[in-house]
Amino acid sequence: MVQGSADWCDFWARVLWTKVGRNATPSGMSLAAPNISASQPEIRRLDDGAINRIAAGEVVERPASAVKELVENAVDAGATRITVTVAEGGKRLIRVEDDGCGISGEQLPLALSRHATSKIDGSDLLNIHTFGFRGEALASLAAVGRLQITSRPKDGDAATLDAAGGAVGLVRPAAGKLGTVIELRDLFYATPARLKFLRTDRGEMQAVSDVVKRLAMAEPYVGFSLVDQTDATRTVFAVHGETGRPEEALAARLRAILGRDFIENAIPIDAEREGLHLTGFAALPTYSRGSAVHQYLFVNGRPVRDKLLIGALRAAYSDVLSRDRHPAAALFIDCDPERVDVNVHPAKSEVRFREPGVARGLIVSGLRHALAEAGHRASSTVAGETLGAFRAPAQNAEPRVYQMDRSRQPQGRVFSATEHSTETPHVLSGFEDSASARFDADPVEDNAVNFPLGAARAQLHENFIVAQTKDGMILVDAHAAHERLVYERLKAQMTSAGIARQALLVPEIVELGEDAAQLLAMSDELLALGLAIEAFGPGAVAVRETPAILGQVACAKLLADIVDELADQGKSGLLKSRIDAILSRVACHGSVRTGRRMRAEEMNALLRDMEATPLSGQCNHGRPTYVELKLHDIEKLFGRR
């Protein structure tokens, strides 16, 4: 019986193996693909419909992708006005109208075929001056939706062509004005499974709006409109084509899209390095945001979301922003098209520079230089927030703590700018122990009010300096301001004298494997920062000296972190950031402490130092060091205007 059972099991095992062939695991579970024959696999050519649907999966990920492709085609056609109309977030309708060069009727079928384009001739895939060049967009859209294209060239008649699910109809005469109208309905009706992966109508509409706004920034001389026709016709976004010089046109376009606050609190960028030109606007550190959504990067006019460029932008602000804050910027890099490859991503949203280090260094150095030239300037929105706080005081608001070891001082006296004794002026007798402002009967010399930060008049709560300017007042956080001054002074001293190194009694050997060569290649840069390493056999380095300011260093962890950053960004600023963090901590401990009474000359000297020191408008953590209130705004608080 046992022997028979064994034979019976062996028989069914052979039958099962015969049925599933080689697509079975030892446990008997089939791994056969449902769309491939169980017999010998046969190589076959996919039909054009399947090819187009597969291509569409890469090119058209969501409605916003379709809008991007169609608007880019309109820009390439020389349009001066582009109108985008969508319904249900683009799922039901996407219509793009332009006044470009148009397409002749006999070329409409060719425009809907794959890899057909007027942008390039195929001989050079690096020297690209247009948004599109692959010739895939229209064919992909026609494969997954119901597409209608109507166009009239300058010296020809209008014609229209329909396509649905990859099937292309016949060209018909039509009535139309100069340019092209492309209407896409029922996106993904031919691949309904894709609809399950889309977001809500509101989420898709937001993505469409973001695409249109980014392209509007890239083309300030072109007018754009975005209309929502889901329920009723509603204009979501509209800008006219700008005029004037490029920098003026860009500033006007950014004002229209990002708002007046951004352009008023941004500094113009214009830097060049080894054939790469960086322009645009970057916001002051005190205008930082809670997320990175206000970062717009363009390469040769093409909107990109490139990891290298985003990392460089973050590195440029690393010394003036805390980790939970993000800079706002619109930056444009222009270079010879042959120095950057845009054909590395299906959506062309990433690029690859021939010299990535040059591009990264240009952004970091260009932004840092521009921020340093801004001097003590701080965001004007700080004053607006202050006035808003005066009008509607927050209830039970907990202040955010930025400085270490800083305790809240008890509410105490308010000292005048020239007070040297505890004697109370006659005009303010009876207010010795109150928190009301005390000023001297004789004002400080009036010449100092002509300085940008004015003349010190009083000290409030043993920390805040009140200064008077020609047309307003300045309120300075003395501790935060002095902290930035000391920090900048320490960095300058370290730059001039070099970073002191401490030699290890016994060199520490760190095994890094194949990453050792990459680390040794930048040994000179590390040495300048106080870290001395050398090769120690295959895949290992010996650490002989470390930066003295860091104290005891876990060399293995430090080198591993540097290697990880090199792999992620191609460059490492980890060691320098750690040294800067130590200097920042030293500056915090060595700055004016809350609770100290300052003399008039000390307060005025602090104001003059702030005016002469780069980045003094914010402390080491990105907080503003002072608030400026204009006289007319103060008068509004009291109903005088």
pLDDT tens profile 302-342: 999 888 899 899 888 887 887 778 999 999 999 998 899 88
Assess whether pLDDT exceeds 70 at residue 419: no
Confidence (pTM): 0.72
Q: Which fold has domain 246-373?
A: Ribosomal Protein S5; domain 2 (3.30.230)
Q: Alpha-carbon torsion 94, 100, 105, 109, what sign?
A: negative
Measured from the Cβ of residue 83, the count of other Cβ atoms closer than 10 Å reads 19
User: Does residue 143 register a pLDDT over 80?
Assistant: yes
**Averaging pLDDT over each range in 372-386, 423-437, 613-627, which range is the top one?**
613-627
What average pLDDT does the segment 241-259 reach?
94
| CB atoms closer than 10 angstroms to residue 4 | 8
**CB 575: neighbour CB atoms within 10 A?**
24
Q: What is the rounded CA–CA span in Å between residue 25 and residue 600?
A: 86
Predicted confidence at residue 295, as pLDDT, reads: 94
* CA 410 distance to own-chain centroid: 41
Task: Work out the burial of residue 593: count CB atoms within 10 Å of its CB; fewer than 13 is exposed, 13-18 middle, 19 or more buried.
Answer: middle
Q: Which CATH superfamily is domain 50-239 in?
A: Histidine kinase-like ATPase, C-terminal domain (3.30.565.10)
Q: Name the more confident of 54 and 549.
A: 549
615 DSSP assignment: T
Give me Rg for the CA atoms of the chain: 33
Q: Residue 552, Cβ neighbours under 10 Å: how many?
A: 7
Measured distance between the N- and C-terminal CA atoms of the chain, rounded to whole angstroms? 108
Q: Quote the mean pLDDT of the chain.
A: 80
Q: Is the per-residue pLDDT at 91 higher than 90?
A: yes
pLDDT at 41 over 60: yes
Give the pLDDT band of residue 27 (cuts 50, 70, 90). Answer: very low
Strands 234-239 and 223-228: antiparallel
Give the pLDDT band of residue 523 (cuts 50, 70, 90).
confident
Domain ranges of the chain: 1-40, 50-239, 246-373
pLDDT at 12 over 70: no
Burial class from Cβ neighbours inside 10 Å (0-12, 13-18, 19+) for residue 428 reads: middle
Per residue in 591-613, pLDDT tens?
666 677 888 888 999 999 999 88
Over the stretch 161-199, which tens digit does the pLDDT of each residue have?
999 988 899 999 998 899 999 999 999 888 888 888 888
Return the ∠ at Cα 242 (arms to 239 and 244), rounded to 5°: 165
Give the SS3 label for residue 232: coil
